[in-house]
Amino acid sequence: MLSQENEFCMAMTVLERQQARLKWLQQLHSYGNQQNVLESSSMPQFQGFFGHTPETGELVDSKKKPGMYLGSSGLPRYGDFSLAASEIEDNKLDLVQAELRNRHPEIHHCLSRTSSFHMGLDDSANIEKLVENATGEDVTLKGKTQTSLKRLSPNKRKQELVAAECKDKRIKGDLDLESTVKEKSTKENSAGLSKQNQNTSTAQKTDYIHVRARRGQATDSHSLAERARREKISKKMKSLQDLVPGCNKITGRAGMLDEIINYVQSLQRQVEFLSMKLAALNPRTELNLDNFSKREFPAYVASFPAATLSSAMDSLSHLQLNLVQQASAGSEPELLKNLHQVEPEKTPNSSAFIPELSLDSSSFSQAQSIWDADLQALHNMGFHLHQG
């Protein structure tokens, strides 16, 4: 605990030093110096600021007790401190901001937090370098952490600690600065950390845009995504319900799915049946068509009621025969027209829901024989007509 107190004091002094440094920075920028120059020239002066480096010896000692840093008692304090520091820094930054037009305030903000945390952990020279890098140059967080990694390579746990702290802060930053982050981050000189900040915040935002949690509903991202998915599924189910006839009356998804499955199966069976029919019928009809194609159909159709299988077909037979003729002649556009002409009268029949289509071989052969007989009659009559 004593070392903690030490650190806290140390951090406070560091805060003062930061303020002084910021003022100094202000001056530098008013002179319009380049940042590289700033970096190179600032080191000795900063060393001057940090005259009492021996104190860091205690800190190094305290570093050997990682439990202190990982303990729950230690961290909140740093958090408090860093927040307070950031507030102070904010005030200062408002002043600095006018001069550093393009500079990202978020950089200072985040960095001041992280750096203040570093203060407690590491010797001040490193920190000074870090802070200076960040404030003087537009270095991404990655670069910073890499440089700090280089310096802090002996104990990686610190790095983890820093990362955890950063995460905490990021969450806090989301809460506090969510509205301001976006504006700030649109600037060119946005640092890596603020980019990450923005990413996370926008990701959360997009979730919130699509799905709104009602009162009493969970708001974490998983349950939000799950809810969105469920809504999507129910929407799809509704559209399916509209497609399948007789599905409107059924309530409950299980029944509805059963109905849909039945319908798809029946449709597939109908396709099978129809292709069977086409396969069985076509050779003879093609032959017949070859024979008939040169003759006059209307007169023939009028004297041929036996070929029509139903009353509906009777009225359509003329058209259909024309259509077949055209099919054999190979003029597809007209055929399509005719086909469409035929369809309006056909649709009630074809769209009717046929639950069971017997596809067993016996009935099929029976049907085939009937058709064959019809075709034979058709052929004969055509032949007679030709002779006559």
Binding site for other proteins (CB under 8 A): 229-230, 232-233, 236-237, 239-240, 243-244, 252-254, 257-258, 260-261, 263-265, 267-268, 270-272, 274-283, 285-287, 307-309, 313, 316-317, 320-321, 323-324, 327, 332-333, 335-337, 339-347, 349-351, 361, 365, 371, 374
Nearer to other proteins, 71 or 246 (CB): 246
Report the distance separating Cα 296 and Cα 274, nearest Å.
Answer: 29
Cα three-residue angle 282-288-289, rounded to 5 degrees: 85
Nearer to other proteins, 36 or 380 (CB): 380
Tell me how far, at minimum, the Cβ of 366 lies from other proteins, in Å: 13
Nearer to other proteins, 203 or 271 (CB): 271
Nearer to other proteins, 163 or 377 (CB): 377
CA max distance for the chain: 127
Nearer to other proteins, 75 or 316 (CB): 316
Tell me how far, at minimum, the Cβ of 269 lies from other proteins, in Å: 10
Tell me how far, at minimum, the Cβ of 208 lies from other proteins, in Å: 21
Cα three-residue angle 326-331-333, rounded to 5 degrees: 110
Nearer to other proteins, 90 or 374 (CB): 374
Nearer to other proteins, 149 or 257 (CB): 257
